[in-house]
Amino acid sequence: MVTIQDVAKAAGVSVATVSRVLNNSPRVTPETRMIVEAAIKELNYQPNLLGRNLRRAESKTILVLLPSISNPFYSRVVRGMEDTAQKYGYNIMLCNDYSEAEMEKNYLELLKKRIADGVIFTAPVLSAGELEDIAKDYPVVQCCEYIPGASLSHVSIDNEAAAYKAVKHLIDLGHRRIGFVGTQSVFISAIQRENGYKKALLDHGIEVSPELIQYGNYGFLSGLNVARSLVKMKNRPTAIFAISDVMAMGVMRAITDCGLSVPKDVSVVGFDNIDFSSMISPALTTVSQPRYRLGQTAMEILLEQLKNGTREVKEVILDSKLVIRDSTGALKSAYTPV
């Protein structure tokens, strides 16, 4: 392995000078700079970051925790983080935490071990207290999911308003009996989306019927199972709002399994606008989040904190929009539910 020593020797200067060239120090003659750069190229020298990082007490690596890379929602979020990190000379370390507190704790060790300089959570399952503890020593940003009230930065969308928009779309189409497929999870998005659903109904004089509210676990199969009971009701809903596209796909399957069709018999709205939502038939009406910008903004906030050594709490809410496709349609006038 070729080290800074070898370059110094080859260039006939000291290691300090080579180091200065590497770090673009202004205090170095153009002439010697040329010589050093020539030696660097000649020897094909690459600085050993292990040495540099130790000396600088930083790793130039940001930890990014997500539930699972198999969740298609996060791919563009990660892209936003990645591009931004790279722009500032950082690498990201992508880790699946499988929504397990134990896994998250394990990965946070990487901070203490100096393998990473900061962390972005996309869907933390640790408690506010635990996160705040980390944030005392290291920059922490929450992206997408976050713990309300925790004194930690986050960047997300207004899930309640977004869900409201989605349900209002159904109401505008004439639907009044609207089912809800969600989850009983710790994630704020699940709670806020349910709130948005309820608020939209109430604001339009529609009663919230507990029997129309069903909970699954985010999976396709749970969406399928849960929706089946909705569809088989004697007085079934004419539309269903699911809090994720994957669950919405389960809902659609449940509907077609019962010999009904989307949107003719039941309209369906999802949430997230994952790539697959436009690939299925009928293409899914859903809520689109600015995924790239979510990741980008989160990374910018984190790097800003890192640069300034500040721990200012920033709370950023970005816009979302309803994408209307083919899975929602006007209520058939012939069919008049109570």
- Please list the alpha-helical segments (H only) found in 12-100: 15-22, 30-43, 49-56, 74-87
Least distance (Å) from its own copies to the CB of residue 61?
A: 8
Closer of 21 and 299 to DNA (Cβ): 21
Size of site (CB under 7 A) for DNA: 30
Q: Choose, by CB under 8 A, the member of 167, 246, 268, 303 that binds its own copies.
A: 246
Least distance (Å) from DNA to the CB of residue 57?
A: 6
What are the CA-CA distances from residue 72 to residues 79, 187, 277 (Å)? 12, 17, 11
Residues 273-302 that bind its own copies (CB under 8 A): 275-276, 278-281
Distance in angstroms (rounded) separating the CA atoms of residues 209 and 89: 53
Taking alpha carbons only, the member of 123, 126, 90 closest to residue 108 is: 126
Count of residues for the chain? 338
Strands 118-121 and 91-96: unpaired
Residues 9-28 that bind DNA (CB under 7 A): 12-17, 19-20, 22-23, 27-28
Taking alpha carbons only, the member of 91, 242, 84 closest to residue 155 is: 84
Residues 54-73 that bind its own copies (CB under 8 A): 54, 57, 59, 61, 68-70, 72
Closer of 5 and 91 to DNA (Cβ): 5
Report the amino acid identity of residue 28.
V
Distance in angstroms (rounded) separating the CA atoms of residues 98 and 112: 21
DSSP, collapsed to helix, strand or coil, labels residue 117 as coil
- Establish if 253 lies at the interface with its own copies (CB under 8 A): yes
Closer of 94 and 213 to its own copies (Cβ): 94
- Establish if 338 lies at the interface with DNA (CB under 7 A): no
Contact indicator for 49, 1 with CB cutoff of 8 Å: no
Least distance (Å) from its own copies to the CB of residue 277?
A: 10
x-or-dash string of contact with DNA, 45-74, rule CB under 7 A: -xxx-xxx-xxxx-----------------
Interface ranges with DNA (CB under 7 A): 1, 3-5, 12-17, 19-20, 22-23, 27-29, 31-33, 46-48, 50-52, 54-57
